[in-house]
Structure 1
Amino acid sequence: MSRWARRALRAPARISRTLRSGVRAGTGRTAPVAPPPAPAAPAAPPTPEELRYGREEELLARFPGFVRHQGLLAQVRDDLLSGDAFLLNFTRAAEALTAADVPFAPLPDGRPRLRLAITPGDRPAVLAALAEAFAGQPVYADLLGHDVTLGTALAEELPAAVAALEYRPEPEPVPGAEVRGESVPELDEADREPRLKVKGVRIYLPVVTVGGTLGYAAEHGCDLEFWDSAEPSRGAIASIAETPYGWWVPSLEPVGTIRIAGREYPTAEAFTRARPEDVTFPVDAVVTWVDDSDADWRGRRDRARAARCGRPSTGEGDGDVRFRNRDELRYCLRSIAMYAPWIRHVFLVTDDQTPSWLESGHPGVTVVPHRELFADRAALPVFNSHAIETQLHRIPGLAEHFLYFNDDVFLARPVGPELFFLGSGVSRFVMDERIIPPGGAEEGESEYVASQKTTRDLLEREYGRTTTQVLSHVPHALRRSLLASLDESFGEALARTARSVFRSGEDVAPITLAAHAGYMSGRSVRGRIDHRHIDVDSRDSLAELPELLATRSTDVFCLNDGVIDGVPGPEQDALVRGFLQGYFPVPGPFERADAPPEPVRAPGSADAGVEAPDSADVGLAGPGSDDDRPGGPANDDRA
């Protein structure tokens, strides 16, 4: 058959297939038939995060005093100190368990965040009690594993959140796996081992200040730890982290008591024992301060300057920079109230000055004027921190153990007394990396360096040892009896320093002397404190402030005056004030409620009385270099 014949025979079949496909109406042209629509894919179920977000939106509508902050709902308030935030979350958890008649054992471990040990087997009761107590409230629970956070949920959803985390659905089986013998028979939840194990929960209600610079969240929570049974042995085993008493305790029965914030709580007998390292004695704080804007004080200082009768000076001992006041005292006291609530009493040493904002009638603070402090009142007035330090042990009512602050030193996060003292009462001192140059004091040398050399000479003669480093700019842990005993060996030098009106190279540095004399006599030891030193006249140092504010990652910081880069006074003031207001936005208990922040000013300068610009308008970046030489432009403390 020819090629054309074969083509003709196939034509009807092609036409018939075309006709069966349909003809477009009114055109005589064929058109393809649309395939039937594919079935709609089932909607994916909402994720736990989406469900929580929806619930949070409902709670936001019910609680107008809350906002979203760092992914959580947070209460907006400017009146909550760090220590109070820890206690509030502990109280919330403790009251929830008490109301449900679920036993718990508070576990002290030397840290501000409290831990509650839960009896083995009581986990379901705890989860149910917390869900009921916090139903309809923006209280959160972190789900804890062994030293790890597994997830976060609203506390009202705790039982379901724990079950969802521990029993997540297994992945879909791979097609053909059954043929290869890889399928696993589906088990009931009761018969399955959890993929993860929630060993505890951390309860907290987030808080943020109006300015958003300070917030409390999980780090201020209260940990409820589900202890494991020690069967077949007796007792219980810690599930998350070791305790100061070990991993195992013989019983969690609440047969003892522990005192927390003035209230007694039942706890395990093992947790009631004081350890050798625990500081159980009272600790006070002493802060020295001067207000350089006070006309009477400036008159006394100017007359004392004139009376020097041409005595040579480097300008360091009586320069204006040493007495500059940027309202640091307010924030120094806030830092103590915020991060060291264990301080028994604050003594403020001044030259007959009282800050206008201070609640002087507060039972926790006492103003001590120089005239009530100095044994020899004929030495007054003095404008020398070394002279004042020779008299600190004479403060009436001062505890044996105390921390000595200059007002430019600030606590930066929660700290305990054990950072500064041993449980035996021995004080810790912290050395700086800066080296005191060898040799004796030289003509024209920095008065700070010269006084360090003078002090070193005294220690060498007494103990036959040479000190090489200066002390760090941190709160100094001191003992009243140690300072008083220095008179026995160094009385003449200390008396001479007490009469030194302005800082001099011939002065003894009493705090340095006490630290090393205490070390040589077994009454002090070297310690370690994470700290930052910021020279406020260094642009490089000033550029560190935003990171320090954001991370709050050190125990202590010092904002040190000096002459380095020549940063204009108003710019320094604005940056320092803005930083301190951001770091410590919560007023302390020692402030009058009706007292606004004092204006930033530089008395005696061309910009005195000029309002400083907003810190946001002042650039932080710029060239400059720090001068970290001992006794360079930076000063260690103030008169």
Structure 2
Amino acid sequence: MTTFSEPAVREAEGGSGRTPPDHTGLPHQSEPPREYGPVNHERGDVYVEERLSPLAAREANRAAVLNLLDAVDVKAFAVRGTSDHGTVVAVAEEDRERVLSVLFRGLGQYPGQLSVIDPDAPRPARPVSSRDPRAWHDVAGAPALQVSWYRTDPEQRLLLGHEYGCAIEFWRSHGSHLVAPRPNRVTWAVPADGAAVPGAARLFSRFVSDWTPRDQAPPVETRPEFLVNTADDITFPIDAVYTWVDGNDPAWQRRKAEAKGEVYHTESASDARFISRDELRYSVRSLHLFAPWIRNIYIVTDDQVPEWLREDVPGIRIATHREIFRDPADLPTFNSHSIESQLHHIEGLSEHFLYFNDDMFMGRPVAPHAFFTPSGTARYFPSRNRIPQGPVAETDTPVDAACKNNRALLQERFGRVITQPMEHIPYAIRRSAMEEAERDFPEAWARTSASRFRAMTDLSPTSSFALYYAALTGRAQPGSMPFTYLHLSVPDLADRLQRLLDGRDQDSFCLNDAFSTPEDIEVQQELLDGFLTSYFPTPSPYEK
């Protein structure tokens, strides 16, 4: 297997791994250090943690800080900070001495990172190892401090740092109130003698929703003033839908061989379109790592179940073609356009959902606001390409033919001309828009559903038509997102994958394939195995 070099390892400088954190967020005291190689980061110690995720690191850092504060009987309450990655807790200014004392002891026993927060500084201060005396120079008068423990997975592929730390704000007494030292999302002041109340975790980070499991994001102790739904909160459920096929399945291959219908274009029945490279497993991992706000995941298949999938775990379900197709005569089908035309028939599917091909991935923590506005408007991502002019021609690719069909119907209905296809970014869809589009264009929709292979008459229901239909009916608007589209047949595939891994600076990326030969596929698979396990090392709860 190809080994990709990792930032967590390349930047490390000698030393041995420390023990995994326990439920308090601090390392175990009873276990000896485990040797995992060089995991002392250039800015301090790194702790090894099983089942690592950004949310797990965030919650562990918060729990560790609260555990220290509890040890000296300092009362703290959660604040709705302006960063979604980390957490914020408030303490009274009068407790500063006890807070600093217990932090000094705790960070002495389990070295971590510390930074002084100055709301008026032009840029945030860099974190400093708590081993370094300079970390403690300005803490006596700091409005707030950020504390963290760097964490990595056992294979040192993922490094989660200071951005997932816990900030401690020192709120000053002013009359009968405590006043915040810097802005937050709700209020500058709370009553000094106010009661503590439990607050849902999703109020304190946009990366969490009411459907994130409580063991991953438990309620926090806060003040009543923070228990409000603000104008920029997303409170509606968002599901994820995948279409997936295992093209190596002999039963599926027989169905495909027996299917009737003329294949008009080499891409239409290319075996590369149906290969399962295990991308789905890693795409689901990307949701677990970077979009824990997803409510339910639906995997649409032709009576197939990925061998790694646990079907007994809540939050994920197989939806078969037989379940969602309104006309059984349209089955079997080997046309993604046909399958996509029926997705809105999934039982229990939310009004707002993201549609993924199995080669699409989240690349870093992404809030639902990247795909929907708080009022429910979907965001779509127009491509830099343009739809070719003129009617459908025999020389058109399947993609261009479908775009032209989309354009003709929408122009007839709304008097508007669409000029751009969509980028390969997860498609934010309103279920109601698909339902209405099917009612408005029953013949074109039925024709697409009945096409067993891609045909000149197809629409592209999810990747374009439903998005523009939603926009033209006031339910979608254009957006932008850092993303990468990478075709697996490029000659410098290894270098491009390494740059993507090194940067980890894309909200989403797509690893697409359509024309690879069997010889190409073998080489690509070795590269993909190394890349995907390095980028997404933590199994999702849905894996056996």
- TM-score normalized with structure 2 length: 0.84
The Cα offsets for residues 522-562 of structure 1, whole Å up to 9 and x where unpaired, read as: 11122222211111111245522112112211110100114
Distance in 1 between residues matched to 2:40 and 2:224, nearest whole Å: 41
CA RMSD of aligned residues (A): 3.0
| Equivalent in 28, 34, 48 of residue 64 of structure 1 | 34
Instruction: Please report how far the alpha carbon of residue 221 of structure 1 lies from its aligned counterpart in structure 2 after TM superposition.
Output: 1.5
Aligned-residue offset at 1:198 = 3.4
Structure 1 segment 348-427 matched on structure 2, within 5 A: 348-427=299-378
Of 441, 445, 454, 1:490 maps to 441
Pair 1:103-2:81 in alignment: no
Q: Which residue of 2 aligns with 1:245?
A: 186
Out of 364-373 and 565-574, give the one that drifted further: 565-574
Q: Which moved more, 1:126-135 or 1:468-477?
A: 126-135
Structure 2 match to 1:11: none
Match 2:167 to one of 223, 242, 252? 223
The Cα offsets for residues 224-245 of structure 1, whole Å up to 9 and x where unpaired, read as 233456x699652434xx3223
Deviation of 1:563 after TM superposition, in Å, equals 3.9
Instruction: Give the 3 Å change call, closer, same or farther, for CA 208–289 of structure 1 in structure 2.
Output: same
SS in 1 for 2:428: strand
The residue identity in structure 2 corresponding to 1:249 is A
Moved over 6 A (4+): 53-57, 564-567
SS of the residue 1:477 aligns to: strand
SS of residue in 1 equivalent to 2:109: coil
Structure 1 counterpart SS, 2:268? coil
Corresponding residue to 2:511 among 559, 572, 584: 559
CA 1:145–1:534 in 2, change beyond 3 Å: closer, same or farther? same
Q: State the match for 2:6 in structure 1.
A: none
Q: Which amino acid aligns with 2:54?
A: S
Q: Distance in 2 between matches of 1:418 and 1:581?
A: 28
Which of 119, 125, 144 is residue 149 of structure 1 equivalent to? 125
Cα distance, 1:118 vs structure 2: 3.2
| Mapped partners of 1:591, 1:264: distance in 2 | 26
Secondary structure at the residue paired with 2:39? strand
Q: How many residue pairs get matched?
A: 500
CA contact (8 A) 1:253 1:267 kept: no
Moved more, 102-111 or 571-580: 102-111
5+ long unaligned stretches in structure 2: 1-13, 19-26, 202-213
- Contact kept, 8 Å, 2:148 with 2:164, in 1: the verdict is yes
Mapping of 1:62-211 within 5 angstroms?
63-64=33-34, 67-71=38-42, 72-108=44-80, 109=82, 111-146=84-119, 147-154=123-130, 163=136, 165-166=137-138, 198-211=142-155
For residues 78 and 55 of structure 1, what CA distance do their matches in structure 2 show?
16
**Does residue 448 of structure 1 match 2:448?**
no
**Which moves more between the two structures, 284-293 or 537-546?**
537-546
1:530 and 2:482 matched: yes
Residues 86 and 113 in structure 1, CA contact (< 8 A), matched pair in contact too:
yes
Structure 1 pair 544–198 and aligned structure 2 pair: CA distance change class (3 A): farther
| Residue in structure 2 matched with residue 325 of structure 1 by the alignment | 276
Answer yes or no: is the 8 Å Cα contact 1:539–1:567 preserved in 2. no
Partners of 2:329 and 2:167 in 1: CA distance: 58
C-alpha offsets along residues 423-447 of structure 1, whole Å, 9 cap, x if unaligned?
2222211112111112111122111
- The superposition leaves residues 352-383 of structure 1 with CA deviations (integer Å, 9 ceiling, x where unpaired) of 11111111211221111111111111100011
Among candidates 418, 421, 436, match of residue 470 of structure 1: 421
Counterpart Cα distance in 2 of 1:451 and 1:202: 52
Instruction: Encode CA deviations 1:97-142: one digit per residue, 9 max, x unaligned.
Output: 2332223232234613212233334332222233344552244333
Q: Which amino acid aligns with 2:185?
A: P
Which of 475, 500, 509 is residue 548 of structure 1 equivalent to?
500
Say if 2:222 is the partner of 1:267: yes
Q: Which amino acid aligns with 1:323?
A: F
In the other structure, the counterpart of 1:581 is 533
Q: Is the 8 A contact 2:176 2:192 kept in 1?
A: no
Aligned-residue identity in percent: 33
Give unmatched runs, 5+ long, in structure 1. 1-52, 168-193, 593-639
Which secondary structure does the structure 2 equivalent of 1:537 belong to?
coil
Shift of 1:293: 0.8
Deviations 1:399-442 (A, max 9, x none): 22211111000011111222211222222111121111121111
Deviates more, 1:529-538 or 1:93-102: 93-102
Instruction: Tell me how far 1:318 sits from its aligned partner.
Output: 1.3
Please give the alpha-carbon distance, in whole angstroms, between the structure 1 residues aligned to 2:499 and 2:167.
29
1:148-183, Cα deviation, whole Å (9 max, x unpaired): 2254233xx79x7655x239xxxxxxxxxxxxxxxx
Q: Which residue of 1 aligns with 2:465?
A: 513
Please identify, of 518-527 and 120-129, the stretch whose mean Cα deviation from structure 2 is larger: 120-129
SS at match of 1:438: coil
Higher relative CO (Cα under 8 Å, sequence separation at least 6) belongs to 2
Partners of 1:463 and 1:55 lie apart in 2 by 65
1:341 equivalenced with 2:292 (yes/no): yes
| Paired letter, 1:271 | F
Sort the Cα spacing of 1:487 and 1:548 in 2 relative to 1 into closer, same or farther, 3 A.
Answer: same
Distance 1:559 1:350 in 2: 20
In 1, the alpha carbon distance for the partners of 2:126 and 2:300 equals: 50
CA distance in 1: counterparts of 2:495 and 2:518, whole angstroms:
15
Which one has a bigger Cα radius of gyration? 1
Kindly indicate whether the alpha-carbon contact (under 8 Å) linking 1:537 and 1:566 is maintained by their aligned counterparts in 2.
Answer: no
Secondary structure of the corresponding residue to residue 316 of structure 1: helix
Equivalent residues of 2:424, 2:485 under 8 A apart? yes
Deviation at 1:337, TM superposition (A): 0.9
Alignment check: 8 A CA contact 2:285 2:539 kept? yes
Q: Distance in 1 between matches of 2:157 and 2:538?
A: 11
What letter matches 1:69 in structure 2? N
C-alpha separation between the residues in 2 aligned to 1:401 and 1:366? 17
**Matched AA of 1:206:** Y
1:294 is displaced (CA, Å) by 0.4
State the 1:469 CA deviation.
0.8
Say whether the 8 Å CA contact 1:331–1:580 is kept in structure 2: yes
Q: Is the 8 A contact 1:434 1:470 kept in 2?
A: yes
From the superposition, tell whether residues 137 and 166 of structure 1 become closer, same or farther in structure 2 (CA, over 3 Å). Answer: closer
Query: How far, CA to CA, are the matches of 2:191 and 2:512 in structure 1?
Result: 52
Q: 1:353 to 1:199 in 2, by over 3 A?
A: same
Query: For each residue in 1:225-284, what CA deviation from the matched residue of structure 2 results, as whole angstroms up to 9, or x when unmatched?
Result: 33456x699652434xx32237x3355765454223464433234322211221111211
Aligned mates of 2:501, 2:393 — CA distance in 1: 40
Tell me, in whole angstroms, the C-alpha distance in 2 between the residues paired with 1:290 and 1:380: 15
